[in-house]
Structure 1
Amino acid sequence: MLRFSTKYGERVQLANQFNVHYGGAEANVGVSLANFGYDVFIVSKIPENQLGKTAEKHLKSFGIHTDYLLKGGERLGTYYLETGVGERGSQVIYGCKHSSFSQLTNDEIKFDEIFQGADLFHVTGITIALSPTLQELTLLSLQKAKEHGVTIWKKWIR
């Protein structure tokens, strides 16, 4: 995903500039684990355009393996972060509908290959919120991870 962030304390409706950062919950966890020396593989889908190529380059720069990073669709998922200040918390606006990732299907994923030798599988609640297809894919991925004895780490957003 591509994050657009306002300046500290600035509201989105008042912003005329945004800082950009490639990331997203799963990618951020992957970067952290890679920084601790773990082999990390990302399973996702990005568009075959400059934004997708730059997102892949960003992941690789942290040592994340992109063997299972699929290409297709037309747009990279985005989100907008309105940074909080004082007692006003940060706000997030998601722009993931119709993204390449939201169009990912079960038949594109090589579950047995991905989970062979894996220790940990991480997924977040935003994945299941994007589409009914991703709800099914997430459930199938959890089942496949369990079949392979892979520890599941999930974080559901409330």
Structure 2
Amino acid sequence: MDVLTIGESMVVLSPKNPGAMRYSTDFTRFFAGAESNVAIALTRLGHSVKWVSQVGNDEFGTALLSFIRGEGVDTSLVKVSDSGPTGLLFKEIRHSNDIRVHYYRDGSAASHMQPDSLKEDQVTGLKVFHVTGITPGLSDSAYQLILQVLEWCKKHAVTVIFDPNIRAKFLKQPTYLEKLQRILHYTDVFIPNTQEAVQLLNVHDMKEQVDAAFSYGIGTVIIKDGQTGAYYFTDAQEGFVPHFDVEIVDSVGAGDAFAAGIISGILDDLSWDEIVRRANALGALAITAVGDITNLPNRNELDEFMKGNRADNVRR
């Protein structure tokens, strides 16, 4: 197995027509969740991924699990639970630059995940553990599960890739940022956006942010700037890769696609320039259609898109 990821996926209902949702009577159903978005993006590129979660013992849970399994993701460790319902969110698209997401996930089945959801021998042999800041915010038990897996990853030399993916609602929890800062101690590749870098590292200057991240023992820092591209830093090199210019239809899910590109590039042993360019390409494709995974490409589609954007767009 190449990659393990743990987190909640939800049913998404989005009005078929843009505008204020209060006037909508016709909705389209999707499925979404940061971790399963990453898992699906990676399986479409030919990587093997195991997704761990809980869904409710309800029709939405059955549909969600069937869909993700159908995308080629290993769902053998996903539990169907009576502890709560499958999570739900509404995506309100006022226009391409005003997309509002409304979550209904309190007490969901995934929030009841426990540390015993996994065993240590299920982590051995992994290449990458993808972790976000969402799962620790679901509940204390979900956070304890993440910490346990991080300990196992450190023990078994599994690469940890941390995408903070901070949600505003979780910031209301008094210790939420402290939880995420604890995860930094286990992180090998850290991929915040510009705002998250400030929130977690407590400095505004990018060079100081990188130094702060390195002080945690992190080996690679990649800072996303949605307006321009992405900066990357290791102890040996640094660079900037501009974004791809595409028409934005739905920007939600771009960060998950970017994370999948980073993981895929690492698994394929690319250079950091190539890894970040792949991540930018996946992020660009993700925002060209409504739905987090609708335009995630397979390997041939990704290659064709990147060939059509062959300009030397790496600055050092």
Q: Give the alignment's TM-score, normalised by structure 2.
A: 0.46
Paired residue type of 2:135: T
Q: Whole-Å Cα distance in 1 between the matches of residues 23 and 150 of structure 2? A: 41
Q: Whole-Å Cα distance in 1 between the matches of residues 156 and 22 of structure 2? A: 47
Number of the residue aligned with 1:56: 65
- Tell me which of 98, 104, 113 is aligned to 1:95: 104
Paired residue type of 1:10: G
Paired residue type of 1:80: F
Q: Whole-Å Cα distance in 2 between the matches of residues 113 and 128 of structure 1? A: 22
Q: Whole-Å Cα distance in 2 between the matches of residues 48 and 15 of structure 1? A: 28
The answer on 1:74 being equivalent to 2:100 is no
Deviation at 1:86, TM superposition (A): 4.9
Q: Whole-Å Cα distance in 2 between the matches of residues 41 and 6 of structure 1? A: 31
> How high is the sequence identity, in percent, across the aligned residues?
27
In proportion to residue count, which structure has more strand?
1
Q: Whole-Å Cα distance in 1 between the matches of residues 89 and 161 of structure 2? A: 23
Higher-Rg structure is: 2
Paired residue type of 2:40: V
The answer on 1:134 being equivalent to 2:142 is yes
Q: Whole-Å Cα distance in 2 between the matches of residues 133 and 74 of structure 1? A: 14
SS in 1 for 2:53: strand
Q: Number of residue pairs matched?
A: 156
Q: 1:8–1:85: 8 Å Cα contact kept in structure 2?
A: no
Q: Give the alignment's TM-score, normalised by structure 1.
A: 0.89
Number of the residue aligned with 2:131: 123
- Tell me which of 34, 37, 44 is aligned to 1:28: 37
Number of the residue aligned with 1:150: 158
SS in 2 for 1:98: coil
Give CA deviations for 1:99-121 in whole Å, capped at 9, x if unaligned.
110011112322x1321211111
Q: 2:87–2:109: 8 Å Cα contact kept in structure 1?
A: yes
Q: Whole-Å Cα distance in 2 between the matches of residues 135 and 95 of structure 1? A: 19
Deviation at 1:129, TM superposition (A): 1.7
Structure 1 residue ranges (4+ consecutive) displaced by more than 6 angstroms after TM superposition: none
SS in 2 for 1:83: strand
Deviation at 1:54, TM superposition (A): 1.4
Give CA deviations for 1:76-96 in whole Å, capped at 9, x if unaligned.
011111124154x21111111
Q: 2:132–2:165: 8 Å Cα contact kept in structure 1?
A: yes
Q: Whole-Å Cα distance in 2 between the matches of residues 24 and 66 of structure 1? A: 14
Q: Unaligned regions of 5+ residues in structure 2, if any?
A: 1-9, 167-316
Q: 1:33–1:40: 8 Å Cα contact kept in structure 2?
A: yes
Higher relative contact order (CA 8 A, sep 6+): 1
Q: 1:7–1:83: 8 Å Cα contact kept in structure 2?
A: no
Q: 2:65–2:75: 8 Å Cα contact kept in structure 1?
A: yes
Paired residue type of 1:37: G
Q: Whole-Å Cα distance in 2 between the matches of residues 45 and 14 of structure 1? A: 33
Q: Whole-Å Cα distance in 1 between the matches of residues 17 and 161 of structure 2? A: 31
Paired residue type of 1:81: K
Q: Unaligned regions of 5+ residues in structure 1, if any?
A: none
Q: Whole-Å Cα distance in 2 between the matches of residues 86 and 116 of structure 1? A: 43
